[in-house]
Chains A and B, each alone.
Chain A
Amino acid sequence: MMQVWTLIKKDFLLDWRQKHAVWAMVLYAAIMIFVVYLAFLEIESNIWSGIFWIILLFAAVNAVTKSFMGESDKRQLYYYSLHTPTTLLTAKLVYNVLTMLFLSAVCAALFFLVFNNKIRNLPLFFVTLALGAISFASCLTMVSAITSRAKGNATLMAILSFPVIIPIMLLLILLTADAYQGKTFLDVSENLMILGAIDLIQLAITFLLFPYLWRD
């Protein structure tokens, strides 16, 4: 547990010392939203949720990719001698979930700023946002680990992660559109449960598979 905490703190410190990277992430999202605003000016519920999640997906791939690919081989060997794979994965996951929560909060705030807040069921929107952050983080962390092991670049990351993440994306877009139209939690409980189930299964498989990936 202590080890997990230390690793998270280390990742945080790294990002804190290179604040430009964090700001670049925020700026990336802001520029994309601005481009979308210039292209559409006025958008409706379905398009709103679709564009929101696409922007967040690109920002997320950029942000999470570095979690494993940013580490050099020698440092990974150093981690290997110190930690169990589960510890390392937990630390990376928690840190990525936090990053994703931060990113989605920034994205949502910018969206509200640019397109006005017309979402009728805000609590549902925030729950969807949180679930989306968790599922993006868990899925992308695993794919980032695979990509870094394959010595791949950002292209490989995109090729591997996009098809795998699409079912989650579709669910999130549906749920966000529902929140936009003011549906209640009861109306969408089934979809929320399916999303949670996919999340849980993906997390479980990530924990099962990561030790195999980690060995070299």
Chain B
Amino acid sequence: MNKSFKKMWWKWLGAFLVIATILAGFLIPLKPGIQSIYPQSTAAGQTQEFKIVGYNTHFNDAENNIYLKHLDDVWICTDLIKVINETELRAMFTIPSNLKLKKEYENFSLVINNDKDGYTLLPDALKIKSANNGIDRIKQCEPELTKVVALNFPYRNQLKESIRNQFFHVPMWFAMTILAIVSLIFSIKYLRKEKLQDDIKAVAFNNVIVLLGLMGLATGMLWAKYTWGAWWNFDIKQTTAAIAVMIYLAYFVLRKSITDMDKRARISAAFNIFAFVSLIALTFVIPRMTEASQHPGSGGNPGFGREDLDSTMRMVFYPAIIGFTLIGTWIAQLIGRYFKVKHHINLNE
């Protein structure tokens, strides 16, 4: 190992991780899933044909078994399956006439077992009306569930392929927060030691923070357009994130309005530290209090981390955070060097 490699291993690591994130994030396919079932309700004692649309499925390639299930008590099996193409089929179900459920209507999940794809489940796919009397535990057949080990991301009906944004949008905000702490440390260091290079570093990091913040907003808006229906929803996290970026833009406006170098460094360092409290309140406290957020993890929405982030996603997600943080640090270092050179040229003139 030569010396230069030892010194810049983290740059290589950052570049590698970001490239790996882009490759893995875009190339790994989604798990097969069920898009829709129609009609969405039926009643005990009825025989009905359902139209089922899948995503990334291989209905033609292998044998399918389809079940309707309620908790683990009721399993209803198909009479007949007509495969139309790889992603569409018709399934005929006969709901037993002695099916007595706890409530008048109960939600049933749809389970499709495919020998090639493994099994997929659509929770709360349809409602079934209970019979007046009968039993509440019926197993029409023994369900066979094939487990297939494959490298893929989970399928979510609302997200579909946009789930890949998880590896770009979220790590950008994580990296921004980490770099904000780094910039804060340099500002504190400047006030203690009054060395201009600490100020230059803080400014360089703040440049990257604005960049990451704007990119985080842009990727977030893309995601919002796809899943929530509009570029800007006035979701509380969207709003607070935009304000957080505004704080850093205000920092640059403040710097531009002071001409004296040392004074500029001192005052902007003070503002950087003072604004950090608001930044923490904006990103961590306020979104948790209001209930009207559509982001996962707030307002009763499921958080990433429990079921939404499966092991394959974790494998890409955590390295992505490290990757974006390292790349951000690298950019900040380059900007810092540029400012340093510019500063020396200005002094010599």
A156: which B residues are within 8 A, CB to CB? 253-254, 257
B250: which A residues are within 8 A, CB to CB? 159-160, 163-164
Q: B50 at interface (Cβ–Cβ under 8 A)?
A: no
In the assembled complex, how far is the CB of residue B297 from the closest CB belonging to chain A, in whole angstroms? 18
B267: which A residues are within 8 A, CB to CB? 146, 149-150, 213
Alpha-carbon distance A165/B281, docked complex (angstroms): 10
**Contacting pair B277 A202 (CB below 8 A):** yes
**Contacting pair A149 B277 (CB below 8 A):** no
**Contacting pair A206 B274 (CB below 8 A):** yes
Alpha-carbon distance A5/B330, docked complex (angstroms): 52
Q: A194 at interface (Cβ–Cβ under 8 A)?
A: yes
Q: A212 at interface (Cβ–Cβ under 8 A)?
A: yes
A174: contacting residue among B266, B278, B289, CB under 8 A: B289
B105: which A residues are within 8 A, CB to CB? none
Q: B84 at interface (Cβ–Cβ under 8 A)?
A: no
B246: which A residues are within 8 A, CB to CB? 163
**Contacting pair B278 A166 (CB below 8 A):** yes
Alpha-carbon distance A1/B273, docked complex (angstroms): 28
In the complex, which range does the number of interface residues on chain B fall in? 20 to 34
Closest-by-CB residue of A relative to B194 is: A212
**Contacting pair A160 B277 (CB below 8 A):** no
Q: B10 at interface (Cβ–Cβ under 8 A)?
A: no
Can you list 25 A-B contacts (CB < 8 A)? A142-B274, A143-B274, A146-B254, A146-B270, A146-B274, A150-B254, A156-B253, A156-B257, A159-B253, A160-B253, A160-B271, A163-B246, A163-B278, A164-B250, A166-B282, A167-B286, A168-B281, A194-B285, A198-B281, A202-B274, A206-B274, A209-B273, A213-B266, A213-B267, A216-B263
B269: which A residues are within 8 A, CB to CB? 212
Q: B243 at interface (Cβ–Cβ under 8 A)?
A: yes
Alpha-carbon distance A88/B278, docked complex (angstroms): 24
In the assembled complex, how far is the CB of residue B267 from the closest CB belonging to chain A, in whole angstroms? 5
Q: B48 at interface (Cβ–Cβ under 8 A)?
A: no
Secondary structure at the A interface, as helix, strand, loop or mixed, is: helix
In the assembled complex, how far is the CB of residue A179 from the closest CB belonging to chain B, in whole angstroms? 16
Contact with B along A82-100 (1 / 0, CB 8 A): 0000000000000000000
Contact with A along B236-267 (1 / 0, CB 8 A): 00001001101100100110011000010011
A201: which B residues are within 8 A, CB to CB? 277
**Contacting pair B191 A212 (CB below 8 A):** yes
Q: B290 at interface (Cβ–Cβ under 8 A)?
A: yes
State how many residues of chain A have any CB contact under 8 Å with chain B: 32
**Contacting pair A174 B290 (CB below 8 A):** yes
Residue in A143, A150, A191, A202 whose Cβ sees the most chain B Cβ within 10 Å = A150
In the assembled complex, how far is the CB of residue A88 from the closest CB belonging to chain B, in whole angstroms? 16
In the assembled complex, how far is the CB of residue A196 from the closest CB belonging to chain B, in whole angstroms? 12
**Contacting pair A171 B286 (CB below 8 A):** yes
**Contacting pair A149 B281 (CB below 8 A):** no
Would you list which residues of chain A between 35 and 89 have a CB under 8 Å from chain B?
A: none
Q: A152 at interface (Cβ–Cβ under 8 A)?
A: yes
Alpha-carbon distance A148/B143, docked complex (angstroms): 75
Q: B30 at interface (Cβ–Cβ under 8 A)?
A: no
Residue in A143, A167, A198, A202 whose Cβ sees the most chain B Cβ within 10 Å = A167
Would you list which residues of chain A between 172 and 216 have a CB under 8 Å from chain B?
A: 174, 190-191, 194, 198, 201-202, 205-206, 209, 212-213, 215-216
In the assembled complex, how far is the CB of residue B167 from the closest CB belonging to chain A, in whole angstroms? 29
New A-B contacts (10) at CB < 8 Å, excluding given A150-B258, A152-B254, A212-B191: A150-B257, A150-B267, A152-B257, A160-B254, A164-B250, A166-B282, A167-B286, A174-B289, A205-B273, A209-B273
